[in-house]
Amino acid sequence: MRHVLNSVKPEPLLPLLASLRRRTQDPTSTSYPVLRQVFSTAIPYGSLVELSGTAGGGKTHLLYLICSIALLPPRWTATDGEVYELGGKGEAVVYIDTDGKLSTLRLREVMSHHLTTAAGSLSLNDRDEAIYQALQRLHIFRPISSTSLLATLRFLPTYVCTPSSSLLDTKIGVVALDSLSAFFWQDRYQAPSSETTPTKPNDHVDTYIFATIAKTLKDFCLTHSCFAICTNWVLFGNNHLPQTWNNAVNLRVRLQKGQMRHYDGMTLAEAWQASQREDSESRREVTVKTELGGRMKLFVDGEGMFTEDQLQDVVQA
């Protein structure tokens, strides 16, 4: 009898529950409006999404916007009893801040702008309370190296099962990683070994680490019915990450910043009208191209990120 029991392979409970949840839920995360706009397609759970581009191209801002929608609740009951539709998901976000530059103040501003757009008549106190409760679902990790990043990802399943994390009762919507490029130079010029020199990258180590990071991310997201979205800067016009990572990415968005003109003293609507009278290449725009053939323009401003149609609505208002 003992021999028979020893031959039975134990199965963790968490993956089993996750597989049951996937069978009873919509297998895609298409309820993120901003992702519908950018990708024009459904994003299956377990997907690995990469936002790439040069510095200042809007990668982090778009990431903040996606995280804001994930964190904010779908609706909010105000102090006067009125119910407002906020367009959020009320889910948790695991934010891996490898750059050490996560600004919760900036994230709060993005949330506030979204609430102004979704529920303009919501009182300031209600808005602040909704944002405060949403930020309670934000879980931040700050690894200091690629190996530390890998260790963090491997630790996530244990962290989720910890009662103090509050993730046992809250669904994870997004795993955000900003950015993949943080440890590029640190990994590129490691201490010399028998196979590398100070000026030659240790390609074998890079390949192993990024392949393992990709697999660990995908496995975690598939288990918890969410998706991962990572930022990556482009070096000298090329993607510097190993091919093992590039092969693992399901969707890649390249954000390209056009020529920027300064419209000092103008409102957003006035700047838009002025840009309409100029050459299209001079507009304050970020062109987004997806590998699936989609294309859209995102206009980045201090007040937020807008699509062309949304800017037209601002002008008409």
Looking at the fold, whether 168 and 240 belong to one and the same domain comes out as yes
pLDDT score recorded for residue 255: 77
pLDDT score recorded for residue 133: 96
Which of 215, 236, 255 is where one domain is finished? Answer: 255
Question: Dihedrals φ, ψ of 79, to 5°?
Answer: -65, -25
Cβ contact 115:128 at 8 Å: no
Looking at the fold, whether 262 and 313 belong to one and the same domain comes out as yes
Single pTM value for the model: 0.73
Asked if residue 153 belongs to a domain, the reply is: yes
CB atoms within 10 A of CB 127: 19
Looking at the fold, whether 215 and 310 belong to one and the same domain comes out as no
pLDDT score recorded for residue 229: 93
pLDDT score recorded for residue 43: 74
pLDDT score recorded for residue 277: 56
Asked if residue 82 belongs to a domain, the reply is: yes
Asked if residue 146 belongs to a domain, the reply is: yes
Looking at the fold, whether 62 and 166 belong to one and the same domain comes out as yes
Looking at the fold, whether 149 and 218 belong to one and the same domain comes out as yes
User: What's the domain count of the chain?
Assistant: 2
Looking at the fold, whether 89 and 43 belong to one and the same domain comes out as yes
pLDDT score recorded for residue 257: 64
Asked if residue 17 belongs to a domain, the reply is: no
Asked if residue 21 belongs to a domain, the reply is: no
Residue 264 sits in which domain range?
Answer: 258-317
Cβ contact 64:58 at 8 Å: no
Residue ranges of the chain with per-residue pLDDT less than 70: 1-42, 189-205, 235-238, 256-317
* 118 token code pair: 């979704």
pLDDT score recorded for residue 10: 64
Looking at the fold, whether 167 and 266 belong to one and the same domain comes out as no
pLDDT score recorded for residue 279: 39
Question: Dihedrals φ, ψ of 13, to 5°?
Answer: -70, -35
- Cα 269 to its chain centre, rounded Å, is 28
Looking at the fold, whether 236 and 269 belong to one and the same domain comes out as no
CATH code, 186: 3.40.50.300
Asked if residue 78 belongs to a domain, the reply is: yes
- Between the CA of residue 227 and those of 61, 103, 280, what are the distances in Å? 18, 22, 35
3-state secondary structure 58-74: CHHHHHHHHHHHHHCCC
Cβ contact 234:53 at 8 Å: yes
Asked if residue 18 belongs to a domain, the reply is: no
Which of 204, 220, 255 is where one domain is finished? Answer: 255
Which of 255, 290, 306 is where one domain is finished? Answer: 255
pLDDT score recorded for residue 236: 62
Looking at the fold, whether 134 and 249 belong to one and the same domain comes out as yes
Looking at the fold, whether 76 and 225 belong to one and the same domain comes out as yes
Looking at the fold, whether 262 and 240 belong to one and the same domain comes out as no
Looking at the fold, whether 179 and 281 belong to one and the same domain comes out as no
